[in-house]
Structure 1
Amino acid sequence: MVGQAVGLFAVTNVDDIVILALFFAEGAGHRGSARRIVLGQYLGFAAILVVAVAAAVGATFLPESVIPYLGLLPLALGLKAAWQAWRDRGDSGEGEPDRDGGPGPLEVAAVTFANGGDNIGVYVPVLATAGTGGMAVYTVVFLILVAVWCFAGRFFATRPVVAQALARWGHVLLPLVLITIGLLILVEGGAFGL
């Protein structure tokens, strides 16, 4: 069952490594940003698990028709990041590292949760058939793997070639990825009749 949990997590969270790498690149040079990103990732993924477990035991928190509208969260955050990148386009970014710079935990949590709508849809039937003991195994394995994903995201963001590319293009890539994720969630979920 542990192997199944690892496989399920990996398949449903591949895109999170890219998003985490972008967040870690955005937070580079800002004290405490790694801690805020990891906290946000755990908050967002914990919310996904709470909804999936509750739905699996029959207490659905979010009607299925609402899930596509979660795409508005990364879309709004992407537009905000694009506006900030455009506004700061002439800033060289040199100087003293900003203590509170980089993404905040609630921003990371919102993106993680919104991007997890498909995870919820996959996790619910698996958890519903796993029973109480199996549900506990899946939950523990998933929470351990969130740490592995955070490590992998930070690892990729700190590789010289990747770090240089993210430093040069991250301010463009992060808004682009967030806006794309938001639009995909909205369109694939049929929000607004799309």
Structure 2
Amino acid sequence: MFAVTNIDDILILALFFGQAAGAGRAGAVRVVLGQYLGFIAILAAAVVGALGAGLLPESVIPYLGLLPLLLGLRAAWRAWRDRRNGDDDTDTATPGGPGILQVAAVTLANGGDNIGVYVPVFAVAGTGGMAVYVSVFLIGVGLWCAAGRFFSTRPIIAKALSRWGHILLPVVLIGIGLLILIEGGAFGL
């Protein structure tokens, strides 16, 4: 269940790790911490929802798509501005890389569908089963981070991310944001 609901995160993590490459280990740590923070928020919402308290009304979840959409538009504007100002180096690794909250926001926004899947599963699993799911999922986040980092450091992938990451990241974030909004019926579509 974890793998199916988070397969798209590997690409996003590879992009974030690619951006963080210039910041060394500190940049990678920020990506991992952000991923865990965002995923813990997803799990917290799912646990609370499963316990019947309902953290977010179901009608609000599609609007989580605004987070990656806005982050994507911001990244696109920065890429366009840097290119326009003659800063045409193809290295997407920004000095600091993405921040913890940026990664967490994208993870949380991209996890609206996860909440919808996890709540009913957690509700029938009971407290003990829920604890097992949460533990396994947190281990899964670590594996996903390792896979994202691995992909971002493969020479051919790293070269592609270095050359096209400044374009690919905004496109992916905007696409995810629009997909969440549209599939969630945020605009009655």
Cα offsets for 1:30-78 (capped at 9, x unmatched): 1411010000000000000000000001010100000000000000000
Whether 1:27 aligns to 2:20 is yes
Which stretches in structure 2 are left out of the alignment for 5+ residues? Answer: none
Q: Tell me: CA distance 1:58–1:110, structure 2 relative to 1, closer, same or farther (3 Å).
A: same
- Of residues 2, 5, 30, the one that matches 1:12 is 5
Question: Is the Cα contact below 8 Å between 2:34 and 2:101 reproduced in 1?
Answer: yes
TM normalised by structure 2 equals: 0.94
Which aligned runs of 4 or more in structure 1 are off by greater than 4 angstroms?
92-95
Count of residue pairs the alignment pairs up: 185
Structure 1: state its 5+ residue gaps.
1-7
Question: Is 2:125 the counterpart of 1:130?
Answer: yes
TM-score, L = length of structure 1? 0.92
Q: For 1:170 and 1:50, locate their aligned partners in 2 and report how far apart those are by CA, in whole Å.
A: 31
Map Cα deviations across residues 125-161 of structure 1 (whole Å, 9 max, x no partner).
Answer: 1101111110000000000110110000000000000
User: In the aligned structure 2, how far is the partner of 1:83 from the partner of 1:184?
Assistant: 20
Over the aligned positions, Cα root-mean-square deviation in angstroms equals 1.5
Equivalence map 1:35-54=2 (5 Å): 35-54=29-48
Quote how far apart the aligned CAs of 1:88 are.
1.2
Residues 66 and 94 (structure 1 numbering): CA distance in 2 closer, same or farther, change over 3 Å?
closer
AA aligned to 1:130 is: A
Q: Which residue of 2 aligns with 1:83?
A: 77
Quote the sequence identity (%). 73
